[in-house]
Amino acid sequence: MLNSVINPAGPPPVIRWPADGVHNDTGDSAPNATNLSHDMVFNEGHVVTIVTYSILMVISAIGNITVLSIILKRRRKAGTRIHAMLMHLAIADLLVTFLMMPLEITWAWTVQWVFGEPLCRIMAFLRIFGLYLSGFILICISVDRYLAVLQPMRLYQMDRRGKLMIGVAWIASFFCSLPQSFIFHVERHPNVTWFEQCVTYNAFSSKLLELGYLYLSMLMMYWLPLIVILFCYASIIVEIYRRSRESICGQGTDNVRRLGFLGRAKSRTLKMTIIIVIAFVVCWTPYYIMSIWYWIDAKSAMTVDQKVQRVLFMFACANSCMNPIVYGAFNIRTRRTLVTQKSTMVIS
């Protein structure tokens, strides 16, 4: 017997009607709490969702609006590529903050979907778009830093390349999110007919096709950004280390100064890399561990406490709170630091 929809707090690509659960042998389709499963009524898990998302929304809004306002002021005077990318990262995280998070709060409050078919499809697209865009902009920042260090003689191409990468990030996010608006739709519960939910039930012709879509989504949203970030910043550290070794063989004041800067740059890049990778892994890994569990064995995954499930799914959105802290702290620097960096022409 089909049961209620599971609506994990967070942006899972697929939500479906799980098996096992509410039985309505009387054929009564009228609202009656005694006929409903735990997931179909407002419970402690929904309270956790509302409270946690509200806190995340406030933190993310303050952090990203602060970073965005600082960047806009700096860009009027002397904007750089990294400022432009950080601006788009903040915009992506604000999309998550003001579109996805309020949706999750409202959805947890109403439990079922009460906004109709068109908004179901539109919000399914929007709730995932900001997350894709945030991940792709992180890729742009990593690649930009990589090219700035390993190809410093081609700086004249970097501005145009930076704009191109940002454009590709927006377009890729659109197309990666677009399937959501086709597979999500409003369904009535097969037994409790007054209960409607925005789900992907019956959207796939086979289990294999569904799993293919799920794992492709995981590849684009999790593995691709993680691999690119690791590769780019590891290469940067190796290159800075190589240059510092070459400087040791040089003589004179200029080489001593350059060596000192390279040491500081290596230390700063290493710290930034560690924090970026830890933040990304900590935010996204719990979400995908729980997601994969659902994809492989939904029945056993449902035995996990609902509050625990919702907290794990919400870790993904926490990345929008971490981005302004990590990238703002390391890339929005004082004018004095910027002048020092320009004079050395290392990591522009």
- For 308-335, write each residue's pLDDT tens digit: 777 777 777 888 888 888 876 666 654 4
Extract the tokens encoding 49. 């969702």
- Give the CA count within 13 Å in the CB-facing half-sphere of 260: 6
- Tell me the three state secondary structure of residue 264: helix
- Nearest in space to 245 (alpha carbons), one of 253, 254, 255: 255
- pLDDT on residue 18: 43
Collapsing DSSP states into helix, strand and coil, what is residue 19?
strand
Query: Residue 6 pLDDT > 50, yes or no?
Result: no
Is residue 21 classed as helix, strand or coil in its secondary structure?
coil
pLDDT band at 29 (very low <50, low <70, confident <90, very high): very low
Q: What is the pLDDT of residue 337?
A: 47
In angstroms, the Cα distances linking 111 to 22, 36, 37, 117, 141 are 16, 12, 12, 16, 38
Digit-coded pLDDT (tens) for 261-308: 455 655 666 677 678 788 888 888 888 888 888 888 878 887 887 777
pTM value?
0.80
Predicted local confidence at residue 155, as pLDDT:
60
Q: Write the pLDDT tens digit of every residue in 96-154.
A: 999 989 998 999 899 889 999 999 999 999 989 999 999 999 999 889 888 887 876 66
Which range in 58-67, 187-196, 330-339 is most confidently predicted, on average pLDDT?
58-67
Distance CA 77, CA 82 (A): 14
Nearest-angstrom CA–CA distance, 290 and 303: 12
77-81, 176-180, 294-298: range with highest mean pLDDT: 176-180
Q: Return the CATH fold of 37-344.
A: Rhopdopsin 7-helix transmembrane proteins (1.20.1070)
- The percent of residues in the chain predicted with pLDDT above 90, rounded, is 28
Q: Beta-carbon neighbour count of residue 269 at 10 Å?
A: 21
Mapped onto helix, strand or coil, the DSSP state of residue 197 is: strand
What are the structural domain ranges in the chain? 37-344
Q: Of 33-37, 90-94, 170-174, 193-197, where does mean pLDDT reach its minimum?
A: 33-37
How much is the mean pLDDT over the chain? 77
pLDDT value of position 262? 52
Any idea how long the chain is? Answer: 348
- In three-state secondary structure terms, 26 is coil
Backbone angles phi, psi at 188, to 5 degrees: -90, 145
Find tokens 């005077």 and name the residue: 77
Tens-place pLDDT, residues 201-252: 888 888 899 889 999 999 999 999 999 988 998 888 888 777 777 665 555 4
CA atoms of 126 and 112, how far apart (whole Å): 19
State which amino acid sits at residue 170. W
As given in the structure block, the two tokens for residue 21 are 């659960």
The whole-angstrom separation of Cα 119 and Cα 7 is: 16
**Nearest residue to 19 (alpha-carbon basis) of 2, 33, 32:** 2
User: What are the E-state strand segments in 163-288?
Assistant: 185-188, 196-199
The position carrying tokens 């925005």 is: 198
**Range list of β-strands (E), the chain:** 185-188, 196-199
DSSP β-bridge partners for residue 188? 196
**Nearest Cα to Cα of residue 272 among 348, 326, 332:** 326
CB 176 within 8 A of CB 132: yes
Q: Is 255 exposed, middle or buried (0-12, 13-18, 19+ CB in 10 A)?
A: middle
Token pair 């959805």 is found at: 107
Q: How far apart are CA 132 and CA 138, in angstroms?
A: 10
Give the three-state DSSP class for 229: helix
For helices 224-249 and 116-150, angle between their N-to-C axes, nearest 10 degrees: 20
